Amino acid sequence: MPPKRRIGRRAFLGLSASALASGVGPAAAKPKITGLEPAPIDVVAKPIQAFGRGTGTTRFGKLEFRGGLALSSASEWFGGWSGVTVGADGRKLLAVSDAGVWLTAEIAYDGLRPAGLRMARLGPITAVNGTPLDRERDRDAESVCLVEGTLDRGMVLIAFEQNMRIGRFPVTDRGLLRPTGYLPLPPDARRMIRNKSFEAVTVLRAGRHRGDVVAFAERSKDMRGAHTGWIWAGGKPERLSVAAKGAFDITDAAALPDGGILLLERSFGWLSGVGMRLRRIPPNAIVPGASLDGETLIEADMSTEIDNMEAVAVHEGPRRETVITLMSDDNFNGFLQRTILLQFTLADGRAAPA
């Protein structure tokens, strides 16, 4: 009989984190936000020097690793980040959590590498009447994107998963304000499983559907086994689908400057652990009724510095390069999981603005 194989602590923590990320284990309780007021917080940032563990490689698929951060805070409301959007110059971010909390901060850089978060503030996502979304089914924010203006004075969309809706929220230099309204829901939205519904939302940045909203469900498949999505063409939601490849669920989306979309996906296996994939959907393919697919830019596993990757954003770098920011959801379980922020450059340059 061969000797029994011992599972190392890193592997055990990784598999446990993966189980939590995929909903097959008990996540830590989300903090209540009743009485939470917008306020500054301190965020500690530990640099992630290399994306591949034990290697100095910087090129992964069609992405070039710029740098990363492992983030932590003494605030009980810091964590669970499921959506992120980054300002046009890459300096400011807005993140939302599935506990109904928003975070704003400035990204500090050492050259091109992210070095920390400054001037961080967090507060509660609120209802139309200004009260915090404290009910579990109401506060499950999963994605955020900038619609107009800037993160100091603009408008964002936030997609919520359990009580399914996509809201318009003004944002200022002091944080997120109460919503001004909600998008019309697709007729089939209410048939989705509540904790596998709206997971990704973005707004197309170029092409004939510029300004139209696109959203995707985490795990709601049609009769062909494809992922479900919608495009609000002219303000009216119409169906899209995305080819399912392997055991991946959609966790977020971000619009590219050329009118295309990045899809962030996550997988989980008891032997393989958690996985991450980014797919690029070309701009001409995104039309009502389309069946989308796209090329894989990167597929990463636990040999790299990933966690439960749930959020993606895109901005233009100082040399007009396309910069991709990823953020993880630690499920408020700091022992088993991490909040990490990663940045990559799209190495082939095909998504440069027209």
- Residue 77 and residue 94: Cα distance in Å, rounded? 15
pLDDT of residue 349: 59
Residue whose tokens read 């209802």: 127
Secondary structure (3-state) at 220: strand
pLDDT band for 194, please (50, 70, 90 cuts): low
Which one has a higher pLDDT value, 110 or 353?
A: 110
Mean pLDDT of 109-116: 97
pLDDT band for 29, please (50, 70, 90 cuts): confident
Q: Counting beta carbons within 10 angstroms of the beta carbon of residue 108, is it exposed (0 to 12), middle (13 to 18) or buried (19 or more)?
A: middle
Which one has a higher pLDDT value, 1 or 176?
A: 176
Could you give the C-alpha distances from 179 to 98, 233, 268, in angstroms and in order? 17, 22, 34
pLDDT at 160 over 60: yes
Q: What is the pTM of this model?
A: 0.90
Q: Looking at this protein, which amino acid is placed at residue 189?
A: A
pLDDT band for 210, please (50, 70, 90 cuts): very high
Q: Looking at this protein, which amino acid is placed at residue 54?
A: G
pLDDT band for 197, please (50, 70, 90 cuts): low
- pLDDT tens digit sequence for 69-78: 999 999 999 9
- The mean of the pLDDT values for the chain is 88
| DSSP label of 33 | -
- Domains recognised in the chain with CATH numbers: 9-346 (2.115.10)
- Residue 158 and residue 177: Cα distance in Å, rounded? 12
Which one has a higher pLDDT value, 270 or 342?
A: 342
- Name the strand (E) or helix (H) holding 114: strand 113-124
Which one has a higher pLDDT value, 16 or 202?
A: 202
pLDDT of residue 273: 83
Mean pLDDT check: name the lowest of 6-10, 44-48, 71-75, 108-112. 6-10
pLDDT at 141 over 80: yes
pLDDT of residue 269: 79
Mean pLDDT of 85-107: 97
| DSSP label of 173 | T
- Name the strand (E) or helix (H) holding 13: helix 9-21
- pLDDT tens digit sequence for 239-263: 999 999 888 999 999 999 999 999 9
pLDDT of residue 334: 83
Q: Beta 248-255 vs 291-292: how paired, if at all?
A: unpaired
| DSSP label of 132 | B
State the CB neighbour count (10 A cutoff) for residue 239.
Answer: 15
Winning range, highest mean pLDDT, from 139-153, 188-202, 210-224: 139-153
Mean pLDDT of 83-95: 97
Q: What phi-psi label fits residue 283: left (phi over 0), alpha (psi between -120 and 50 degrees) or beta?
A: alpha
Is 53 within 8 Å of 305 (Cβ atoms)?
yes
pLDDT of residue 7: 36
pLDDT at 55 over 50: yes
pLDDT at 193 over 80: no
Secondary structure (3-state) at 238: strand
Winning range, highest mean pLDDT, from 6-15, 68-77, 220-229: 68-77
pLDDT at 4 over 60: no
